């Protein structure tokens, strides 16, 4: 795989202080703007470039707290762990990981303390977010002058929906890093009022099969409700990604590109797959298994350079952002390098 060039993403001092620039988890291009998220905040970030056709740098960073436009399941400053962003019509869509969390072990911990921390799991309800954000002049708003309204799925997110699911219910309270439920990609596609959301799961991976949830969310009095799809409020599609989980997705024509990597806390492999025709999939044609084609391999480091987000540039190339970027990506304070990869 050849990286065509690097693109500089420049963040404000506040974002650097909170380590947003080294915890990138989601990205979406939008004309001159780049919408991006870090996985340890409750905000979305907007960067701007001067040449959308051939960007070399995105800057003019502005951070937008989600709590300003929607009700969050946690406190305003609690981590939402935004893992997916999609732009569709007048709306920006965001999804939190919904994952539980096991405490980390650090090198200075005693054996007893390490064992105690490994036994500690928190549910992290603040991460149970699925929301559409109304945009006015490229700024999130509760309601726009045209009447577009921000809305969230509700305080339980997907948990209530999946509580009795034969495949996913056993994984709801298992931490994401342990192959538990972990939502890490969203694509919303279709005309407003007829759109469909595709949620890609990093975990669980079921005997090598990754999972995509299909939803048809509609706004009703400030909340998202799920329209029935083939008689149910969601459908599942299983993807053979060679044992990998889904890290992100984006639309490419009528297809979806799927970024795949290990479901657990491991380095590589990291690949991009093509799911033909997925973006125009008719509800009556939803199948339980989909055939994919491997498109390319992405680089990964050892303990760093974890590809977490992909977005399509106007040139038809793929922009890739990394969590835990390697030192060579951190050129100067506040700037981190993303890769541009030809498809």
Per-residue pLDDT of the chain (343 residues; tens, 9 = 90+): 678 889 999 999 988 888 889 999 999 999 999 999 988 889 999 999 988 888 999 999 999 999 999 999 888 878 889 999 999 999 999 999 999 998 888 888 888 988 988 888 899 999 999 999 999 999 999 999 999 999 999 766 788 899 999 999 999 999 999 999 999 999 999 988 889 999 999 999 999 999 999 999 999 888 999 998 878 899 999 999 999 999 999 999 999 999 999 988 888 899 999 999 998 877 666 667 777 999 999 988 888 888 999 999 988 999 999 999 999 999 887 899 999 999 8
> Quick check: helix, strand or coil at residue 13?
helix
The string of pLDDT tens digits covering residues 88-128 is 999 999 999 999 998 888 888 888 988 988 888 899 999 99
Give domain status of residue 31, yes or no. Answer: no
Please tell me the distance from the alpha carbon of residue 149 to that of residue 135, in angstroms, as a whole number: 9
Query: What pLDDT, on a 0 to 100 scale, did the predictor assign at position 284?
Result: 61
Query: What pLDDT, on a 0 to 100 scale, did the predictor assign at position 110?
Result: 85
Give domain status of residue 340, yes or no. Answer: no
Give strand pairing partners of 101. Answer: 122
Query: What pLDDT, on a 0 to 100 scale, did the predictor assign at position 155?
Result: 65
Query: What pLDDT, on a 0 to 100 scale, did the predictor assign at position 286?
Result: 66
Contacts of 251 by beta carbon, 8 Å cutoff, 6+ apart: 187, 189, 257, 279, 312
Give domain status of residue 153, yes or no. Answer: yes
Give domain status of residue 150, yes or no. Answer: yes
- Report how many domains make up the chain: 1
Give domain status of residue 6, yes or no. Answer: no
Query: What pLDDT, on a 0 to 100 scale, did the predictor assign at position 165?
Result: 94
Please tell me the distance from the alpha carbon of residue 120 to that of residue 195, in angstroms, as a whole number: 39
pTM, two decimal places: 0.94
Is residue 270 classed exposed, middle or buried when 0-12, 13-18 and 19+ CB atoms within 10 A define those classes? buried
| Helix (H) / strand (E) containing 160 | helix 159-162
The string of pLDDT tens digits covering residues 143-156 is 999 999 999 997 66
Contact 97, 78 (CB under 8 A): no
Give domain status of residue 204, yes or no. Answer: yes
Q: How far is CA 316 from CA 46, 248, 251, in A?
A: 21, 17, 11
Question: By residue range, what is the domain housing residue 89?
Answer: 64-307
Give domain status of residue 55, yes or no. Answer: no
Contact 74, 125 (CB under 8 A): yes
Give domain status of residue 11, yes or no. Answer: no
Contacts of 222 by beta carbon, 8 Å cutoff, 6+ apart: 149, 151
- Is the omega angle on the peptide bond into residue 269 within 30 degrees of 0, that is, cis? yes
Query: What pLDDT, on a 0 to 100 scale, did the predictor assign at position 302?
Result: 83
Q: Which two tokens stand for residue 22?
A: 């080294």
Please tell me the distance from the alpha carbon of residue 14 to that of residue 23, in angstroms, as a whole number: 14
Q: Which of 185, 261, 148 lies closest to 28, judged by CA? A: 185
């Amino acid at each position: 795989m050849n990286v065509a060039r690097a693109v500089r993403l420049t963040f404000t001092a506040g974002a650097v202080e909170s380590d947003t620039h080294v915890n990138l988890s989601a990205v979406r291009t939008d004309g001159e703007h780049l919408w991006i998220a870090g996985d340890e905040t409750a905000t979305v970030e907007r960067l701007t470039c001067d040449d959308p056709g051939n960007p070399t740098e995105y800057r003019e960073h502005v951070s937008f707290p989600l709590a300003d436009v929607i009700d969050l399941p946690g406190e305003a400053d609690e981590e939402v762990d935004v893992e997916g962003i999609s732009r569709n019509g007048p709306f920006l869509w965001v999804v939190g990981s919904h994952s539980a969390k096991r405490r980390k072990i650090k090198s200075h911990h005693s054996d007893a303390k390490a064992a105690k921390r490994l036994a500690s799991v928190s549910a992290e309800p603040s991460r149970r977010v699925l929301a559409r954000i109304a945009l006015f002049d490229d700024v999130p708003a509760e309601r726009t002058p045209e009447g577009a309204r921000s809305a969230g799925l509700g305080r339980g997110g997907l948990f209530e929906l999946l509580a009795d699911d034969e495949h996913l219910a056993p994984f709801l309270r298992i931490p994401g890093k342990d192959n538990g439920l972990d939502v890490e990609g969203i694509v919303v596609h279709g005309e407003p009022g007829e759109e469909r959301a595709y949620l890609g799961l990093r975990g669980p991976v079921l005997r090598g099969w990754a999972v995509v949830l299909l939803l048809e969310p509609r706004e009703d009095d400030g909340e998202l409700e799920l329209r029935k799809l083939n008689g149910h409020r969601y459908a599942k599609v299983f993807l053979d990604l060679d044992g990998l989980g889904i890290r992100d997705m984006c639309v490419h024509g009528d297809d979806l590109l799927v970024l795949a990597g290990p479901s657990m806390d491991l380095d590589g492999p990291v690949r991009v797959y093509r799911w033909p025709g997925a973006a125009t999939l008719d509800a009556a044609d939803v199948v339980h298994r989909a055939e994919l084609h491997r498109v390319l391999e992405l680089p990964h480091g050892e303990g760093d350079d974890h590809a977490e987000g992909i977005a399509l540039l106007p040139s038809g190339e793929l922009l890739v952002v990394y969590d835990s970027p390697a030192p060579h990506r951190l050129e100067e304070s506040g700037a981190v390098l993303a890769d541009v990869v030809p498809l």
